[in-house]
Amino acid sequence: MRPIKRKQISEKVAEKLKLSSEIVDEVISCYFRAVQKKLSALEHDRVYVDGLGTFYIKRRKLEQKLTKYKDALARYEAKSNPDMSDYSSIRDMKFEIQKFEKAISKMDYEAERKIVKQQDIKDYKTKKDESN
């Protein structure tokens, strides 16, 4: 499925509703910003939007960001004379790293749960076939 860009959506909706495309685009961009904030908060790895589908965090991107933060944290901690802003940055980075690790562990749990469920279905089908 080829995704439709926000600008194309706003033009179609503006044409349908006979409104200015700038106004419609502003409303749509505000809505997508809210979805993006939900995903950025890392409270959930997926956000379902009725009529548009499920938006999700890509594990690879999350792992890349985690690596960047860990490298930056190591650089800050390696400083010989850190100042207050460095301590603040260290604290913020540690908090973000914890959020990233928590999100990755949730993804691992969900992936494992999915594998177990698939195995249960497979076992059920084999038992059902054996009983017939």
Query: Would you list the DSSP string of 6-30?
Result: HHHHHHHHHHHHT--HHHHHHHHHH
Q: What is the 3-state secondary structure (H, E, C) of 75-117?
A: HHHCCCCCCHHHHHHHHHHHHHHHHHHHHHHHHHHHHHHHHHH
Do 123 and 62 share a structural domain? Answer: yes
Which residue in this structure is represented by tokens 């503006």?
Answer: 14
Residues 66 and 129 occupy one common structural domain:
yes
* Backbone CA torsion sign across 15, 17, 19, 21: negative
Task: Report, as an integer, the average pLDDT of 65-73.
Answer: 95
**Per-residue pLDDT at 1 exceeds 80:** no
Q: What is the pLDDT of residue 39?
A: 84
pLDDT class for 3, splitting at 50, 70, 90?
low
**Which residue, of 29, 57, 85, is where some domain finishes?**
57
In a shared domain, residues 63 and 29: no
**Are both 77 and 130 inside the same structural domain?**
yes
Domain that holds residue 70: 58-132
77, 110: one domain: yes
98 pLDDT more than 60: yes
Total domains in the fold of the chain: 2
Q: Kindly state whether residues 53 and 63 are assigned to the same domain.
A: no
Mean pLDDT to the nearest integer, 2-15: 80
User: pLDDT band for position 75 (50/70/90)?
Assistant: very high
How confident is the model at residue 72, as a pLDDT?
94
pTM of the model: 0.70
Question: Does residue 110 sit in the same domain as residue 76?
Answer: yes
Confidence check: pLDDT of 89 > 70? yes
